[in-house]
Structure 1
Amino acid sequence: MAEWAAITPEDRDWTGVIDDGCAECGFVPQRADATGGRLRATVPVWRDVLTRPDATRRPAPTVWSPVEYACHVRDTCRIFRGRLALMLDEDDPVFPNWDQDATAVEDDYFHQSPARVAGELAAQAESTAAAFDAVTPAQWARPGRRSNGSVFTVRRFAVYFLHDVVHHVHDVTRPTTPR
């Protein structure tokens, strides 16, 4: 395994992908009620990536390895499922802040087992897909907001979440060095 190096925290505002998609990864926003199926479709890709011999290797010292990206996606599923529950149960909740970069260091993503992460990611993705599948037509318009003030409806939140997963699939499957 390569030496661990700190990753510069991401500070880009990704909310634009909700309406415009993402030219970098090819993400195209679709119906929010397709989120569960689209999320499930990423699981076999993650399983394949995490069996590669390079699953624990960073393509560059400050770019996450496939297992680190998978840990992030696993945790993103869990965090966003909790935020979805807040949106469905409370009126216009503010989401607790989540420092994903601190989590990567604190939970030592770099040294996690690819096989274990593959199973955990699959379980979290299935639970999150089921949660999005259970959203009723009247619930898609329910609001919630991040601590920085960004406002989402469940519909827009679903698209934002799915982009994160799809973008990281792109990061670990493209033939060139990820960003």
Structure 2
Amino acid sequence: MTTESSASDQIVPDEKDWTWVLHERCDECGFAAADVDPHQIGATVRDLLPRYVSALHREDADVRPEPVVWSTLEYSAHVRDVFRVFGERLDLMLAHEDPLFENWDQDATAVADRYDLQDPAVVADELVEAGEATAAAFDAVADDAWERSGRRSNGSFFTVRTLGQYFLHDVVHHLHDVRA
């Protein structure tokens, strides 16, 4: 048994409630979710995918800039999973009245799935596949469905529109994190 903690155990969990980005510009990345035309979410995702792929092809993609800051690989694996989770949440909102989303502990997922040890080329392929699928799902939202509602397990309320805006902030913000 080893007494050393793994690199993924050193990350401080993010316990902030980021829903404030729906009403304020993010000082870190400059994104203003409220300004997003929901009809452009899919196109924006597709525009950003090549930047993630490029970042994942850097030689240092798996190197953390600091011991407590995720590497490009870890951020990209997270974004791949963001695409998957938000695609599922969108599907729930479109199929059910005011669904309650399952809790997703992003930090626990990063540790359990060993984001830090995944293959950058595989993550790039999976990220593009998941990103394209989620982009297509947002493209397919009918005009009368943007105000359908859903809730996170912590009680945060979303419409399809605000879920998309919130989701897109995450994707843009992490590009800022990887400096792609």
The yes-or-no answer on 1:126 pairing with 2:129 is no
Partner secondary structure for residue 152 of structure 1: strand
2:20 to 16, 19, 22: 16
The yes-or-no answer on 1:45 pairing with 2:51 is yes
Asked whether the 8 Å contact 2:8–2:116 carries over to 1, the reply is no
What residue is the counterpart of 1:31 in the other structure? 37
What residue is the counterpart of 2:157 in the other structure? 151
2:7 to 4, 8, 16: 4
What residue is the counterpart of 2:3 in the other structure? none
What's the % identity of the aligned pairs?
A: 53
Could you tell which deviates more after superposition, 126-135 or 10-19?
Answer: 10-19
What residue is the counterpart of 1:177 in the other structure? none
The two structures have a TM-score, normalised by structure 1, of: 0.93
In the TM superposition, residue 153 of structure 1 has moved relative to its aligned partner by: 0.4
In the TM superposition, residue 5 of structure 1 has moved relative to its aligned partner by: 4.2
The one-letter amino acid of 2:27's match is A
The yes-or-no answer on 1:116 pairing with 2:118 is no
What residue is the counterpart of 1:166 in the other structure? 172
- CA distance in structure 1 between the aligned counterparts of 2:37 and 2:28, rounded to whole angstroms: 20
What residue is the counterpart of 2:147 in the other structure? 141
What residue is the counterpart of 1:58 in the other structure? 64
Partner secondary structure for residue 7 of structure 2: coil
Asked whether the 8 Å contact 1:36–1:132 carries over to 2, the reply is yes
Asked whether the 8 Å contact 2:56–2:73 carries over to 1, the reply is yes
Asked whether the 8 Å contact 1:5–1:61 carries over to 2, the reply is no
- CA distance in structure 2 between the aligned counterparts of 1:70 and 1:24, rounded to whole angstroms: 18
Could you tell which deviates more after superposition, 112-121 or 5-14?
Answer: 5-14
The one-letter amino acid of 2:152's match is R
Partner secondary structure for residue 91 of structure 1: coil
> In angstroms, what is the RMSD of aligned CA positions?
1.0
- CA distance in structure 2 between the aligned counterparts of 1:27 and 1:35, rounded to whole angstroms: 13
Q: Which runs of 5+ in 2 are unaligned?
A: 1-5
The one-letter amino acid of 1:132's match is F
Which contiguous aligned blocks of 4+ residues in structure 1 show a shift greater than 6 angstroms?
Answer: none
The one-letter amino acid of 1:98's match is W
Partner secondary structure for residue 144 of structure 1: strand
In the alignment of these two chains, the number of paired residues is 172
